[in-house]
Structure 1
């Protein structure tokens, strides 16, 4: 069974499994180690193993982690919930109790002390799209294949629990060379597709200055290519929602920036909200992406394209119409209309560079990101941690093929350390540049150790501003101040002379320029950790605006009864 599961993971493209050992999964881990196509990556804790599988899935299309029963499962579940919210297929494998213990009144360790082994399963039911409890060899192959195929089809995590005594037992259904894994593609309801395309084309062709806005569900629908082809054909301006950044080529001539309501890229929000029709492809409208529900978008002017549904204005709505099919058909029906692009060119003023600094002036955040912008190319990827890095990284202009990831829907602080580990392990052709705040780093810092064990060469900018700055701008209090660490000393202690690692602290622009030059040159094959010390009130103007609006949304009084 263990060999069969390992080979299935290799077939779907998983060559690294992030794990924490425990007595219930040890025998299964032996088979993952023995599989030539799998590299078992031992992590410092289950939460980071889950975050690493999340980051890996972003780069590779699917990820996997392996933990032990309940104490491991309930530790990794926060990361699995984040992957669920972001639409990422992650296979979460848990070593379960001996198959003979099911149906008995025995009390096992790693449980809450009841003869009921379903607590972990019940928790995972809300954050996975399929749950397989493998405690019988006869249906093991069916449960494993169904779980994996469901993860890939639904683009959501799945849970597979494998009894600890089954991993080494053969069964006739475990062929030495499994039948190649195949998932039949979904196809649209043809009549619904034609009707949706006709109605949308009629709606958009009547508009004077329509725009097109990309959202995060482009990834779930695997429709990035179809989106670009539609944009080329229609000539509309292209904007991207914040959580969709990185899914649309920003070097496209019609790209106008990030649409994020009141904190949009300059001239982008105005173009979108003044349009007489907008085509939203794969959007998520939540309180964060809508800046506290303050978007000036009118439903009657919008076409909303979900992964499997299209809704035009206040109606009609067409189900079982898949995004790629719809975009490919729509591009043939839309008239070219570059009015809004021309309007944008007329009013656009390029963003200014930060004010000239004084000699030895303390480093400012806008200076830091000016230099990070200059580091970007097609062989880099940005990981932006929850916090002010959301806003500063959102303003970076991504060159062709430059990766970009952040976790906006779930917004779990500390996500980026594990995600950097996983993304770098999957995308070996890119150098990851992670922007992490000090508060977030303290949550998950120890898996810097795993990055070193794996020989990764990421560049981590630790932005030390003395606390939870994003929380300060929503609602301040003494709980937002954290204990300052010697962050470079911490990483040096983890390094302990094993592996390639270089750390430095920077306080001025001159020191930053020197650090980036060394990280890009002499230390290009090392993990580089650059601690930047900035003022606690040095934030982006977008965070100030966003924080006040989210605060207002959070503090709305109860409706009258």
Structure 2
């Protein structure tokens, strides 16, 4: 029997599931583990500036490739990253998150350790991560390592959620049996009888409806249900809308696509078609105060078929252990062609808007910026929008076929986008260019990772909206706390470039300057581009004004029970 080390076993398993890069911040509890990982030259080490940003980078990488891995030290590293891992849990992103742990002798020998709470109890990080992962294990005996590593990775793939693996620092280099030469798999359980019954029930409901519609949700991608959803759309002929956090999961050039359904801030004409339908199938949705605009979206449960990743809910009945892709593809075989809702939208849809008439000297407005970004997008690009007004401007942007869109709407952690840009760009280096829309307030939380983007010669283009504050918070509930210290954002690039970086940046105030900056950025190679946009504090999309008012109403609702 051949042997390997605990760290090398983990590296082999990561390679087998498709991980090509792993993100790390070194610390003394994980240094031996990192030594073992470096022996696998088919994966690349990516060093991050801090652990929170590392977590966001894993988030972006998992969006691009389907799974990511990150490595930190104990306590000071793990607890710094836990917010980003919680966000990945909320967003259904598979991440193998690994922390070095205390020496196995510390607890039985009653030894207080650095980086800890100063008490001889070392399970607190494991206990915390149990709350924000699908599986959390601690390797404290070498004989347990293969089983625990495999169990965690299987749960990560099975549930499309992060998992946590803690490896004692004195075990990472110890020998164990080598990993089997087989890829880990995680089949989704399926109750065939429940599947058939759910399909029959849904088909009866939809085939007797007059103008049914389809609405795609964010869980289509993690559960690999996008092809089945497209198959269902083609078979049914229904009008197809997408929820805001599922933008890009269905081609926007498709003749059945009618826009984004987002309650009262939907694409013009889209909301009216969805809400007036007598039956709608939501595939992989999330219904939160954000996606329903403060629960003001008009979704009637008596007309709703809700196809979730592993269950289907219809009026009066829930069917469990029904995988989403199988349900959608089998339902496609049962539906009658019915384009009534699509024809209704064609009568209702507004005429295409003319592009705004501006001159090179016209002062920048957010709508001019959005118009320019839409015009520059190509099929091999991904548009990534930070929490804030960038959400609304990004959702309104029309994507060419092949282009992707990324948004963190469920968790909505400002600062996510800088690390996510790093992770996504690393995964897609040489294949796809990232275009990021980031507000100044968000950028200030995680700006350090621009340094890592420069270090690894990644070439995203960052549009940094400088309006000197947290615009989304302004529209929900304003106060002096929403103002921030202004930075010389364009000047920051030179600081981070130092002696060897190839980043490029500029500040623009007018449409003409923006056009010139975009032309330069598109031609730039070997490093990122940052275009700082000077925007008035109160210049935001009308959708944010509407959305912010409704979310604020939910937040401020008086208590019903005291």
The normalised TM-score by structure 2 is 0.97
Question: Which digits, 9 at most, give the CA deviation of each residue in 1:425-454, with x for residues without a partner?
Answer: 111200100000000000000110000111
Partners in 2 of 1:327 and 1:440 — Cα distance? 38
1:243 positional shift: 1.1
Q: 355-364 or 459-468, which moves further after superposition?
A: 355-364
Tell me the equivalent position of 2:161: 156
Tell me the equivalent position of 1:539: 540
Mapped pair 1:65 → 2:84: no
Tell me the equivalent position of 2:484: 482
Question: Which digits, 9 at most, give the CA deviation of each residue in 1:205-259, with x for residues without a partner?
Answer: 0111100000011122211110000101000011011111122222211011110
Tell me the equivalent position of 1:229: 231
* Alignment check: 8 A CA contact 2:359 2:511 kept: no
Tell me the equivalent position of 1:174: 178
* Alignment check: 8 A CA contact 1:104 1:115 kept: no
Tell me the equivalent position of 1:499: 501
* Alignment check: 8 A CA contact 1:473 1:544 kept: yes
Change in Cα spacing, 1:92 to 1:417, as seen in structure 2 (3 Å) is: same
Q: Show structure 2 runs of 5+ residues with no match.
A: 1-5
Tell me the equivalent position of 1:334: 335
Partners in 1 of 2:105 and 2:178 — Cα distance? 21
Tell me the equivalent position of 1:384: 385
- 3-state SS of 1:74 partner: helix
Listed as ranges, the matches of 1:348-363 within 5 Å are 348-353=349-354, 355-357=356-358, 360-363=361-364
Partners in 2 of 1:193 and 1:2 — Cα distance? 41
* Alignment check: 8 A CA contact 1:354 1:366 kept: no
Partners in 1 of 2:410 and 2:289 — Cα distance? 9
- 3-state SS of 2:264 partner: helix
Question: Which digits, 9 at most, give the CA deviation of each residue in 1:232-289, with x for residues without a partner?
Answer: 1000011011111122222211011110001001111111001111000011000111
Change in Cα spacing, 1:197 to 1:27, as seen in structure 2 (3 Å) is: same
Tell me the equivalent position of 2:549: 548
Partners in 1 of 2:53 and 2:381 — Cα distance? 22
Mapped pair 1:529 → 2:533: no
Tell me the equivalent position of 1:244: 246
- 3-state SS of 1:100 partner: coil
* Alignment check: 8 A CA contact 1:308 1:321 kept: yes
Question: Which digits, 9 at most, give the CA deviation of each residue in 1:150-208, with x for residues without a partner?
Answer: 1000100000011111121112x224xx3212315224211111111111000000111
1:352 positional shift: 1.8
Partners in 2 of 1:301 and 1:528 — Cα distance? 48
Partners in 1 of 2:337 and 2:525 — Cα distance? 46
1:524 positional shift: 4.1
- 3-state SS of 2:234 partner: helix
Q: Show structure 1 runs of 5+ residues with no match.
A: none
* Alignment check: 8 A CA contact 2:16 2:182 kept: yes
Partners in 2 of 1:560 and 1:42 — Cα distance? 49
Partners in 2 of 1:469 and 1:351 — Cα distance? 28
Q: Pick the aligned partner of 1:130 from 131, 135, 138.
A: 135
Q: 534-543 or 27-36, which moves further after superposition?
A: 27-36
* Alignment check: 8 A CA contact 2:453 2:527 kept: no
Change in Cα spacing, 1:359 to 1:54, as seen in structure 2 (3 Å) is: closer
* Alignment check: 8 A CA contact 1:188 1:325 kept: no
CA RMSD of aligned residues (A): 1.2
- 3-state SS of 2:448 partner: helix
Tell me the equivalent position of 1:89: 94
Tell me the equivalent position of 2:11: 6
- 3-state SS of 1:151 partner: helix
Q: 105-114 or 62-71, which moves further after superposition?
A: 105-114
- 3-state SS of 1:87 partner: coil
* Alignment check: 8 A CA contact 2:16 2:183 kept: yes
1:139 positional shift: 1.0
* Alignment check: 8 A CA contact 2:157 2:186 kept: no
1:526 positional shift: 3.2
Tell me the equivalent position of 2:83: 78
Change in Cα spacing, 1:359 to 1:419, as seen in structure 2 (3 Å) is: closer
Tell me the equivalent position of 1:26: 31
Q: 332-341 or 241-250, which moves further after superposition?
A: 241-250
- 3-state SS of 2:306 partner: strand
* Alignment check: 8 A CA contact 1:95 1:164 kept: yes
Change in Cα spacing, 1:480 to 1:184, as seen in structure 2 (3 Å) is: closer
- 3-state SS of 2:286 partner: coil
- 3-state SS of 2:170 partner: coil
The normalised TM-score by structure 1 is 0.97
* Alignment check: 8 A CA contact 2:154 2:186 kept: no
1:361 positional shift: 2.6
Q: 304-313 or 494-503, which moves further after superposition?
A: 494-503
- 3-state SS of 2:521 partner: helix
- 3-state SS of 1:263 partner: coil
Partners in 2 of 1:473 and 1:421 — Cα distance? 29
* Alignment check: 8 A CA contact 2:360 2:511 kept: no
